[in-house]
Chain A
Amino acid sequence: MKELIDKAKELLKEKKVETVIGYREIRGCVVPAYVDSPCDADCLIFDKRCVYNLANYLKWFKNKNVALVLKGCDAKSINVWLQEFQIKRENIFIIGVECYGVMNEKSADAGLSDKCGHCEAHVPNIYDAVIKHQGDKKESVQGEPFKDIQEFEKLPHDERWDFWKKQFEKCIKCYACREICPMCYCKECIVERNIPQWIMSSPSVKGNFEWNMVRAFHLAGRCVECGECERACPVNIPLMKLNKKLIKEMKELFDYSAGQKEDVKSAIDDFYPEKDIKIDDKMIR
């Protein structure tokens, strides 16, 4: 913790950044912290309750000099932002934290989040400084990361349809999944446009299907699997099931995983049908 606090103090003292966005604890829970002055930096912490992907806050700090405390999964979203020319690298200082898992807020036993089970970025792949992990390092559970998706794919069409229908019927269109996602930064989301209207804005099962499909598809090749959307959803829709399906497709079809490097073209930017499309039976279902 001292390392983290010292780093923040140094950055603020030397005026390298205006604000450090990190984590702090109040009334027994961890919340995002905005630290503007070195004397306030003592509140900063990092532990397994630090679930938020703070890269999301860049939406509101686009052209400012900020430092962000980021875990491995969160830092990947910075790569995507850079690939998509949304931020300038020199404007942000990444305080990477070595991380071996955050808790799953949705489960009663406070076990680790699913995404942590097959994490390959315990140390962020992009950072300006890195804070070492103290204590025992629990390596990821090895095994097939897409097991649940493979199982789900095996179900008959009708069963899958009914599953999602029951899920999306609960959606209240609060758009928390969108607002919390660092990758959802459009100025005006297509669901909210009504001239012309492409997607029903009202919360009906059909409109909810459209919304959730659009959200998932717009994140194909961009979702970094931080899990924030699923955590934010107040009605417990398993959004990661959709995201992971697309992550799997991207991997299998294009051998692409989002957020690995800042200086490669993003999948959508580097798409040449002749070379990339491997048409097989799998695609035509």
Chain B
Amino acid sequence: MISEMKKFIISKNELKKILAGIVAENIKLIAPVSRDNAFFLEEVSDAEKIAWDYSNVVKPVKEHIFPMREVLLDFGRGTDPPALDEPEARSSGKEKNPAGNMPPVKEQVIFGLRPCDARSLLVLDKPFLQEKYVDSYYKERREKTTLIAMACLNPEKTCLCSSFENGGPFSSAGSDVLCVQTGQDEFLVEILSEKGEKIFKNPSFAQPSGEVLKKLENLKADSEAKICKALKVPENLRELFEAGTWETESLSCIACGICRYLSATCYCFNITDEFEQRLRYWIPCSFKNYTKMTSGEISREKKSARFKHWYFHKFSYHKDNFGEYLCVGCGRCIKYCPVKIDFTEVLGKIGNSKQEQ
């Protein structure tokens, strides 16, 4: 049960103190930090290092629940991957974890993620936590994670979160706590779950005045008005599989992995053995070897086929299987595409194309 007092006002310093308290309790704190003109969600040990003036982080929050590289099994000797300056694990002879004993997953609090990212975990829960096939690695991290989201006052021109049900720059869906910066030194904090309540247990925070709540409404409206992109999936997408437009739209695509890796919701992975470990790591369907089979056959060899697959997975197959699009509108695929492909525009053109026989 969440207590009565769900919304309160807090100063930046108080907020920082709470975050520092998380670190002091030996809980992993993950927050936005600035690195080489970009922002990343990384573990921080000092609340002073947290960045506050970011629009969104480069890598979506999924990397902290479904890591880019994850050890699934450790055979026999249980060595960590060889350190950088070690020539090879075998020769180092260092036993790091006893056989089969995986390092424990720590409790973690993720602060400052954006509402789209918080929502992306609700979307990912469906494939990873299906009734029949529960991914235990995902599940453990997910359960041990608390999300403190920060509403967006200045969405970017690539953002399109408001195209989704529950979405928007002030959406609280998926978060345990939602913060909104309502003034220079004033944050409105809303507790949304028991997990969130555990973090803000101090009862002495001030209740928001009517004035603050009014400000909140204005900020929200301002922010929503800044979102200029919208998602429109052609209703007959399935019938447009053979449309020649896919070919022409994919011409400028270079088939890198950016739009898949940085998508808040793409979740394909590869499993291979390296040294004495079985690893799971991200792999994008844009790579040729993604569909490479033992026989050497590659079923989506053509660039346009790989290009198209992304659209069909996100806006057709996933919808059939899980009832929603595999997209939350974070806009990263548009923002970071090296050749500036905009998927909303591609969908528009596909919708206008005639089905080819």
Interface residues of A (CB under 8 A from B): 26-27, 29-32, 34, 52, 56-57, 60, 106, 165-167, 170, 172-176, 178-180, 188, 192, 194, 197, 200-206, 209, 228, 231-232, 234-238
Contact = CB atoms under 8 A, between A and B. Distances in A.
Interface of B: 35-38, 40, 58-59, 68-69, 81-84, 248, 251-252, 254-258, 261-262, 270, 272, 274, 279, 281-282, 284, 287, 289, 303, 336, 338-342, 345
A201 B37 contact: no
A105 to B, nearest CB: 9
B32 to A, nearest CB: 14
Given A201-B274, A202-B69, 16 more contacts: A31-B252, A31-B340, A34-B252, A166-B35, A170-B36, A172-B282, A175-B257, A176-B338, A180-B339, A188-B289, A197-B274, A202-B279, A234-B258, A234-B262, A235-B38, A235-B58
Nearest to A19: B251
A232 B256 contact: yes
Given A27-B342, A172-B59, A180-B338, A202 B254 contact: no
Contacts, number: 106
Contacts of A192: 287, 289
29 contacts: A26-B345, A27-B342, A29-B340, A32-B251, A32-B339, A34-B251, A34-B252, A57-B251, A60-B303, A166-B35, A172-B59, A173-B257, A175-B257, A175-B287, A179-B255, A180-B254, A180-B338, A180-B339, A192-B287, A201-B272, A201-B274, A201-B281, A204-B81, A205-B84, A206-B83, A206-B84, A209-B84, A235-B36, A236-B37
B338 A231 contact: yes
A201 B40 contact: no
Nearest to A107: B37
Which residue of A170, A192, A234, A235 has the most chain B CB atoms within 10 A of its CB atom? A234
Lowest 4 CB-CB distances: which A-B pairs, in order?
A: A176-B256, A232-B338, A174-B257, A32-B252
Contact of A203 (B58, B68, B258, B303): B68
A204 B68 CA distance: 9
